[in-house]
Amino acid sequence: MADDWLNIALRFGLYIGMATLFGVSMFGVYAQRLSANFTSFGRRFTAFLLLAASADIILSLLSMVVTAKAMSGAETYAELTAHILGMVITGTDMGIAWIARMLSLITCIAIIFSGLRFNIRFILLTAFSGVALATLAWSGHAAMNDGIKGAIHLVSGISHLWAAGAWIGALFSLAMLALLDPQSNPDAICVLSKTSNGFARLGTVIVVSLIATGTINYVLIAGPSVDALISTQYGLLLSIKLSLFIGMLALAAANRYLLSPKVELAITAGNGLEASRLLRRSLVMETTLAILVVACVAWLGVLSPVISKAN
What pLDDT shows up at residue 180? 78
pLDDT band at 123 (very low <50, low <70, confident <90, very high): very high
pLDDT tens digits, 159-217: 999 999 999 999 999 888 888 776 677 777 778 777 777 776 788 889 999 999 999 98
Q: Quick one: pLDDT at residue 125?
A: 97
More confident residue, 283 or 26: 26
Q: What is the pLDDT of residues 265-277, one digit of tens each?
A: 776 776 666 666 7
Is pLDDT of 303 > 50? yes
- pLDDT at residue 311, rounded to an integer: 39
Mean pLDDT, range 80-103, rounded to an integer: 93
Helix ranges restricted to H, the chain: 2-34, 42-72, 82-91, 93-113, 118-134, 147-178, 186-222, 227-231, 233-254, 260-268, 272-300
Per-residue pLDDT at 280 exceeds 70: yes
DSSP codes joined into one string, 91-123: HSHHHHHHHHHHHHHHHHHHHHHS---HHHHHH
Residue 2 has a pLDDT of 61
Say if domain 2-300 classifies as CATH 1.10.3210. no
